Amino acid sequence: MALGALSGAAAYQHIVPRQGEQKDEQQGEQKGSWQEIAWSFPRDGWPAGRAFRCRGASCGDGIEVYVRPKIGFCNCDRGVADDDEVDRVADVDLISQYFVPLAPGEVVQVADMAGRTRAYDLKPSDGSRRAAIGIAVSRRCDLLVAVAHGNGDAWETRRAALALLATREMTRWMMAAMEGR
């Protein structure tokens, strides 16, 4: 409940510039900065998380990232062990029910949590094509999942999403969310 309220209350608030971004002197704003947006998906068995949009030169046509904990929803012994688990838990189906993996997933580290990431080709209901990245990492018996999507290249979307998750503010929030605070 508190996570959903936090997400809604902070909608459209500026969060963090991406690492290495320069301030545009003529426009006075960050190029490729992340803005927190409202969680746009219907309620399900998990609390709403936090959502972000990046617009600007370094984000192509724009990237959105949705991240949330799924407490008690992970194999306590193996963590996120394979691509099938990423396909099941990473919330890619919230963006589109029609997604196809582009390649085998890769091992990833987010904060102090290990897991996997996988790229997908999406076919939303409007007929457009989009790239998505599913990220699932675990600590003990708990999952943290993120899904990122955009009009650009899947690997650029992955790079941008992982850069956001690596920021100090997001690392603090993810660790607190995994502790249930």
- Strand 34-37 versus strand 142-150 pairing type: unpaired
User: Cβ atoms within 10 A of the Cβ of 161, count?
Assistant: 28
Q: Phi, psi at residue 68, to the nearest 5°?
A: -160, 155
d(CA 84, CA 104): 10
Residue 152: strand pairing partners: none
pLDDT score, position 152 = 83
**Do the Cβ atoms of 17 and 162 come closer than 8 Å?**
no
Residue 52: strand pairing partners: 36, 65
d(CA 134, CA 168): 21
Provide CB contacts within 8 A for 5, sequence distance 6+: none
pLDDT score, position 82 = 93
**Strand boundaries in the chain, DSSP class E:** 23-24, 29-30, 34-37, 50-54, 63-70, 99-101, 106-110, 113-122, 130-139, 142-150
pLDDT score, position 22 = 37
**Do the Cβ atoms of 15 and 36 come closer than 8 Å?**
yes
**Do the Cβ atoms of 48 and 31 come closer than 8 Å?**
no
pLDDT score, position 78 = 83
pLDDT score, position 1 = 35
pLDDT in tens, the chain (181 residues): 333 433 333 333 344 433 333 333 333 333 458 999 999 888 888 888 999 999 877 676 689 999 999 988 877 878 898 999 999 999 999 888 889 999 999 999 999 899 999 999 998 777 777 899 999 999 988 999 999 999 888 999 999 999 999 999 999 999 999 987 5
The SS3 assignment for 179 reads: coil
